[in-house]
Amino acid sequence: MKNLNRWVYAIAGVVILLFAGLVYAWSVLSGPIAAEFTQWTKAQLSLTFTLVMICFCIGCMICGFTLKKISARTFVWASAVLFLVGFFLASRTQSLPMLYISFGVMCGLASGLGYNAVMATIVKWFPDRPGLIGGVLLCGFGGGSFIIGKLYQAWTPAEIGGWRTSFVVMGIIIFVILVICSFFMVAPGADYVAPPAKATAAKNTVLVESNPGQTLKNPSFWLFYVWAIALSAAGLALISQASGMVLEVSASVAGGAVATIVGLISIFNAVGRVIFGGMYDKFGRSVSMQGVNILFIVTAAILLLALKSHSVVVVIIGFIVGGLAYSGITPTNSAFIRAYFGPKYYPMNLPLVNTNLIFASFGSTISGALFDKSQSYNSTFLLLVGLAVAGIICSLVLSVLDKKKKAAK
């Protein structure tokens, strides 16, 4: 298969990530579960997704640190098996611990293993366009929760317990598709010659091959890490409050329409990843990071206007901009790690920056607590602006460090 066009491997990677990203549809998947187990609180069910995030990061690290000894294809197979068993056991759950282990732990690990196996393998085919290919792959990962989540809603029976059959079917489908696509998870051979890279990509690059230990000692990594936490938290805060914002603007909006409007964030989160990936290649780190920062501030301003004007159209515009803002984080993470710390240790260093999701996941908790206290979404808008300002500061300081490093050479 090494003689195929490199975009064939990319497409297979997108398909794998489309299904691996399904875990992010937990809010949709958990709806029928909550209807059956009414004694379980929202906080108890939410812990399932927290476990998914933690185990996703663990799965990424396991894959990254052992990818030289174990093939990417094997990791995709392991991911397929874990998804199959995880969804099957979840379909039989009668207790929270069972749900935590089956979906939280097993499916979280499955997602992490598949994610890093694809990212670490496919980017090797595109050394000339690392930002773009990262965006394309992550578009699949981001779009999975929306696309497959909608399919899940459509085929899941309305009666209590109907979700159990859907879980079994999903586990089987994911297993079959991941096994098929795994045969395309091969790295280019030593004789592979990529198209020449465009000169614009290296504008903000400070390339040093750094192992994980060296990466963790680098101030540039920590500045970027704080930026990733802040902006990811902003995105999760927006998503967690989105439905309430729509209803506050217009209480007459039907439930299905609310879901569609909120879904615009996911759609443009997926589409924007390709845009930001290409942007990193063309303009470099600083423009990409500041683009995300500014878009979040614009999002807060638009949504504030929407609440003041009670305009659903303005809300829609705000969610589109917010989705684009959130979309820029993950492709920038991927491109930054490869550009600043080198391709050699990319599979190990990428999971390090992805752990920001564990801390960022509290963004939704904080925004919820602020709303409970103030009974106003103005607190969410202030939170978005504050986190974006923190991101601006991190990016500016990182630019200063870049200049000092270049001057020292």
pLDDT at 361: 79
For the cut 50, the answer to whether the pLDDT of residue 275 exceeds it is yes
- Model pLDDT for residues 248-265, shown as the tens digit of each residue: 888 777 766 777 887 888
Winning range, highest mean pLDDT, from 108-112, 200-204, 341-345 = 108-112
Residue 182 in tokens: 């795994």
Contact 386, 259 (CB under 8 A): no
Winning range, highest mean pLDDT, from 198-202, 258-262, 273-277, 320-324 = 320-324
For the cut 80, the answer to whether the pLDDT of residue 368 exceeds it is no
Burial (Cβ within 10 Å: 0-12, 13-18, ≥19) of residue 286 = middle
pLDDT at 364: 76
Burial (Cβ within 10 Å: 0-12, 13-18, ≥19) of residue 342 = middle
Residues 6+ positions from 252 with CB-CB distance below 8 Å: none
pLDDT at 198: 62
Residues 377, 371: Cα–Cα separation, whole Å: 6
pLDDT at 197: 63
The fold for domain 199-408 equals Growth Hormone; Chain: A; (1.20.1250)
pLDDT at 255: 61
For the cut 90, the answer to whether the pLDDT of residue 134 exceeds it is no
Taking Cα atoms as reference points, which of 180, 33, 169 lies closest to residue 100?
33
The contacts found for 190-199 with CB under 8 angstroms, 24 or more apart, are 192/2, 192/125, 194/6, 194/125, 194/126, 194/127, 194/128, 195/128, 196/128, 197/127, 197/128, 197/129, 198/128, 198/281, 198/282
Residues 172, 199: Cα–Cα separation, whole Å: 45
Greater model confidence, 158 or 98: 98
Tell me which of 2.40.30.10, 2.40.37.10, 1.20.1250.20, 1.10.1200.10 is the CATH number of domain 6-182.
Answer: 1.20.1250.20
**Where exactly are the structural domains of the chain?**
6-182, 199-408
- Model pLDDT for residues 51-82, shown as the tens digit of each residue: 888 899 899 999 988 988 999 999 999 999 99
Q: What is the pTM of this model?
A: 0.82
Helices (H), 342-376: 346-354, 356-360, 362-374
SS3 141: helix
% of the chain residues with pLDDT over 90: 47
**Residue 21 DSSP one-character state:** G
For the cut 70, the answer to whether the pLDDT of residue 203 exceeds it is no
pLDDT at 223: 96
One fold for 6-182 and 199-408: yes
Phi, psi at 158, each rounded to 5°? -75, -25
For the cut 50, the answer to whether the pLDDT of residue 375 exceeds it is yes
Residues 243, 239: Cα–Cα separation, whole Å: 8
Q: Is residue 202 very low, low, confident or very high in pLDDT (cuts 50, 70, 90)?
A: very low
